[in-house]
Structure 1
Amino acid sequence: MAVKEPDPDGAAQASSEQGAGQLAGQFMGFGALLRRWRKTAGVTQALAAKSLGMGVRTYRKIERGATPPRFTQSQCDSLAALFALDRDERHALLLYNVGTSLTTSSAEGRPELRRALRLLIDQQMPSPTYLCDRYWNIISFNTAMAEWWPWVMEPGANLIRWALTDPEARAQYHDWHQHAAAYVKMLKFAEATNENDAELRQLIDDVKKNPDVRHIWETENELGETRDGHVFRMNVPALGWETVEVVSHVVYPASMPDCRFVVITWVEDDRADDEHDALGGARNAWAETSAAERVQAVPARDRTSEGRADAARQRHAHSLTARLILDTAEEAAALAGEDGIPLPVLSRLIGPDSRLTLSPSNHSVIWAIEEAPGEWAVTEVDASAVIARMPQAALISEARDEVKLLTRWALPAAPDAAIEHIQQLLPQLQQRILLLREVWRDLYEQDNLLPYV
């Protein structure tokens, strides 16, 4: 039986519309979904067709279940605006037609989602964990992350800028050039999928000002989406520059699909050596092979929990408290206790939205940063972590007294124990100074520079 279509303005239906002759597309599939969205919005077929840039007859066929040409991204955006679709509906529209998900964060304007992610981040202790946006700007992190890498607490902290342009990163990554190449691959992947993104272009231009990074950019032709599953070595200042082997795990939260949730797992294994990592794969395999090849290279084998438990115990010794979110910087400073000592000069050196307060009783520093208006993220870190993060501060005359305070409270509390520790450190530091001077002299003589003084 022939079915009579409703007119564009939603006039009388065909008498058989409720009968068995109605097309299946009006009950199920994308056509039915499209029709329901349109009718809920009170929009005519003619107006819907116009927003898509097609004829009314073609649009009617789509609603009846005919297989349509896939809508483009711009057509989806136009239709979503016309029908006032919510986020889940827009997601479904895009997945059906474009085959991709939304690129904007659903956590915007929804603080409960951010709080939930903060809870998840804190629960990853003692593994360093952070959340960054699509441009690798640090959004949130846990105490372990702040302890290992204090730079995340600074205003405007950005993983890519730190890894590619900060001298600190070169000192911490083993084989920095391999890591730099991995990050360049990620930038190239982002550029290939978001070529007209102004913020991404600015980030790329900024890091390419570094000659080494520019050379890698010009010679590296591969793309890489993430560092998920990479096993690598780093020297961590908070652990006395001890070399640790870690694995990077990257996931995308459903509530913030444009962001990366990254957990850094410390792995230990007596079988790790220069040729094999702690998971049994080839050392730095991620720098040479594709992700699929890396998976095949790692043998399936049983692992005892002894190494992981020992690593967890060591990490726990370097973790203090979970991060807090407070309303004001004054509330954050009060956490240092009655003997708390403000560090205004060091706070200014970190950035305008930072507040550092020394807690002598805990030998720690309350590091607060305003992540959003009225939201101060607070992390308690060891005093030595601040010194390691700001080595040049001791050269600034107005900061000297504050650095001296931090140096004192990075030592044992008891004066005799502190003196003993200093006596142990001084010979080591003096020897390091002598070695640096020798290297300095060798470099001068090698390059025929000015005479060494």
Structure 2
Amino acid sequence: MGELLREWRDRRRISQLDLALEAGVSTRHLSFVETGRATPSRDMVLRLGEHLGVPLRERNRLLLAAGYAPVYGESALDDPEMAVVREAVRRLLTGHEPYPAVVLDRRWNLVEANAGAALLLEGVAPELLRPPVNVLRVTLHPDGMAPAIVNLGEWRAHLLGRLRREVAATADAGLADLLAELRGYPCAQPVPEVEVPGPGDFLVPLRLRHGGAELALFSTVATFGTPLDVTLAELSIESFYPADDATASLLRRARPASPAAP
């Protein structure tokens, strides 16, 4: 447990003194915990995990390493007790139509989508759409959406930057492998290390060829505010909005009639 705790403290770049002050423990005792000379109580493990911003899944690992049972459940979305959550998510998805919206798990795999999301997937190779569908792979793969993305270099830099920050925040080995895979995909456009705004820019849009037109979209990401379940803590809802009037008009005209689908 001490090794795991020290890894998370180093990852957050917090000193023993600062963590001890924030968590209300002595620096001496925290040092003993990290070196294995003292066993923390369950409450202390939870308190340290909270102050370090450790994801719920990893807080369970800390508890197990300290000899305690996990306290955060991990429910499947189709469990009966998750019916209220499923209904809330589907209301959000359906209410966002005709604009695209998707629900993602911690590794960017598609959990659910509304009918508007189908517009983004036109022309994607069928093998990339076999479950589990990874949204980042679908977006940046040369057989996926990449050929239709007008500003591929810019959008790729945006997505890889988000993923890189998630790897740093979660220490998820699966996300690290995904980042390495995506970096290996070809890209004919220059990929900026830092996104520098041009005159009048206020966000990075996704510019997508659709028929003879060009769609311009930006997205927002929503998460559950007070999750006590690992599955809920790792879900995110990405909703796309038109960045100009022409895109809004096209999406309204192309509005599909089908309901949200798994």
Query: How large is the RMSD of aligned CA atoms in angstroms?
Result: 4.1
Closer/same/farther in 2, CA of residues 324 and 266 from structure 1, 3 Å limit: closer
What is the distance in 1 between the residues matched to 2:255 and 2:101? 13
Q: Is the 8 A contact 1:233 1:243 kept in 2?
A: no
Q: Please, which of 174, 196, 203 is the counterpart of residue 150 of structure 2?
A: 174
Q: Is the 8 A contact 1:164 1:180 kept in 2?
A: yes
After superposition, give the CA deviation of every residue in 1:33-61 in whole Å (9 maximum; x if it has no partner).
xxxxxxxxxxxxxxxxxxxxxxxxxxxxx
Q: Please, which of 251, 254, 259 is the counterpart of residue 318 of structure 1?
A: 254
Number of the residue aligned with 2:52: 98
Report the CA distance between 1:107 and its aligned residue: 5.2
What is the distance in 2 between the residues matched to 1:324 and 1:182? 27
Report the CA distance between 1:125 and its aligned residue: 0.8
Q: Please, which of 180, 184, 187 is the counterpart of residue 205 of structure 1?
A: 180
Report the CA distance between 1:76 and its aligned residue: 11
- Using the size of structure 2 for normalisation, the TM-score is 0.60
Closer/same/farther in 2, CA of residues 120 and 81 from structure 1, 3 Å limit: farther
Q: Please, which of 127, 135, 146 is the counterpart of residue 159 of structure 1?
A: 135
Number of the residue aligned with 2:86: 114
Q: Which runs of 5+ in 1 are unaligned?
A: 1-65, 83-89, 223-228, 269-306, 326-376, 378-453
Number of the residue aligned with 2:205: 232
Number of the residue aligned with 1:446: none
What is the distance in 2 between the residues matched to 1:233 and 1:207? 18
Closer/same/farther in 2, CA of residues 138 and 100 from structure 1, 3 Å limit: same
Report the CA distance between 1:100 and its aligned residue: 5.1
Closer/same/farther in 2, CA of residues 67 and 168 from structure 1, 3 Å limit: closer
Q: Please, which of 95, 120, 130 is the counterpart of residue 148 of structure 1?
A: 120
Number of the residue aligned with 1:417: none
Q: Which runs of 5+ in 2 are unaligned?
A: 1-22, 58-71, 196-201
User: Is residue 68 from structure 1 mapped to residue 25 from structure 2 by the alignment?
Assistant: yes
Q: Is the 8 A contact 2:215 2:247 kept in 1?
A: no
Q: Is the 8 A contact 1:107 1:114 kept in 2?
A: no
Percent identity over paired residues:
18
Q: Secondary structure at the match of 2:256?
A: coil
What is the distance in 1 between the residues matched to 2:193 and 2:39? 36
Number of the residue aligned with 2:235: 259
Report the CA distance between 1:68 and its aligned residue: 2.5
After superposition, give the CA deviation of every residue in 1:346-387 in whole Å (9 maximum; x if it has no partner).
xxxxxxxxxxxxxxxxxxxxxxxxxxxxxxx3xxxxxxxxxx
Work out which of the two has the higher radius of gyration on C-alpha atoms and give 1 or 2. 1
After superposition, give the CA deviation of every residue in 1:217-264 in whole Å (9 maximum; x if it has no partner).
xx8489xxxxxx844252343xx2411221211121234232221111
What is the distance in 2 between the residues matched to 1:185 and 1:155? 25
User: What amino acid sits opposite 1:199 in the alignment?
Assistant: G
Q: Secondary structure at the match of 2:137?
A: helix
Aligned residues: 201
What is the distance in 2 between the residues matched to 1:319 and 1:232? 21
What is the distance in 1 between the residues matched to 2:40 and 2:94? 37
Q: Is the 8 A contact 2:216 2:242 kept in 1?
A: yes
Number of the residue aligned with 2:220: 249
Q: Is the 8 A contact 2:98 2:256 kept in 1?
A: no
Q: Secondary structure at the match of 1:123?
A: helix
User: What amino acid sits opposite 2:255 in the alignment?
Assistant: S
Report the CA distance between 1:164 and its aligned residue: 2.3
Number of the residue aligned with 1:35: none
- Using the size of structure 1 for normalisation, the TM-score is 0.37
Closer/same/farther in 2, CA of residues 81 and 209 from structure 1, 3 Å limit: same
Q: Secondary structure at the match of 2:161?
A: helix
Q: Is the 8 A contact 1:142 1:323 kept in 2?
A: yes
Q: Secondary structure at the match of 1:320?
A: coil
What is the distance in 2 between the residues matched to 1:324 and 1:164? 24
User: What amino acid sits opposite 2:214 in the alignment?
Assistant: T
Specify which structure has the bigger relative contact order, considering alpha-carbon pairs within 8 angstroms and separated by 6 or more residues: 2
Closer/same/farther in 2, CA of residues 80 and 106 from structure 1, 3 Å limit: farther
Q: Is the 8 A contact 2:149 2:208 kept in 1?
A: yes
Number of the residue aligned with 2:106: 134
